[in-house]
Structure 1
């Protein structure tokens, strides 16, 4: 039986990715060992893994994940207060499919979309 999913996204620089997700988005490092070229981060019940891809062309990165939340407005406001750059084409808005969503790009142009059912 399937119980969890931990998406893996590319990263060019482990320290930059770790800094962004931990200090800006509030994730914690869950790796008991510091693996070269690999990073495991968690916030609340969400865990994301990253693999090193130094040659990643961010203009051609299609990495993306959808993260569900139960208080999207609080999360959005918190990120705005921290001056986190929200994707210019994806501010907080209600979508035709019944979700309230917003998106941002991490330092490697992985698209993170946050959503809550309305």
Structure 2
């Protein structure tokens, strides 16, 4: 009997702007990720990870591409994560998207990274 395929975590490849080192610093210092891989000198690609969330940061000078990129990360204990980010630097939380329960039943908030990418952290509101 064959097993059905199971999709696991998603690893987005996102534009990191022209200074990947600056993006790496943001993900490590502000969002609590750690760098698990990097390539190039200067760096052209890096992989950052926190728990099961893995993000590929790619050097890309197109500001419009970065500002048009958005993705979502599901979180357990979102209130604690929100407090962690506020304690580090409340400025990273998008002023129009602070922690709230949305009509579609998700507690969520968003941050904008140094390249302009929007990341929404969410947790089902049970």
In the TM superposition, residue 48 of structure 1 has moved relative to its aligned partner by 0.4
- Regions of 4+ moved over 6 Å: none
Range with bigger deviation, 17-26 or 58-67: 58-67
Unpaired runs of 5+ residues, structure 2, are: none
1:82 match:
88
Range with bigger deviation, 84-93 or 102-111: 84-93
Check whether the contact 1:7–1:49 (CA below 8 A) recurs between aligned residues: yes
- Superposition map of 1:103-114 within 5 A: 103-114=110-121
Q: CA RMSD in A?
A: 1.5
In the TM superposition, residue 58 of structure 1 has moved relative to its aligned partner by 4.8
1:57 match:
63
Deviations 1:68-112 (A, max 9, x none): 001000000111111242101100001000000000100011000
Unpaired runs of 5+ residues, structure 1, are: none
Q: Which has the larger radius of gyration?
A: 2
- Superposition map of 1:1-118 within 5 A: 1=5, 2-12=7-17, 13-31=19-37, 34-36=38-40, 37-54=44-61, 56-58=62-64, 61-85=67-91, 86-118=93-125
The number of aligned residues is 115
TM-score normalized by structure 2? Answer: 0.85
Check whether the contact 1:58–1:108 (CA below 8 A) recurs between aligned residues: no
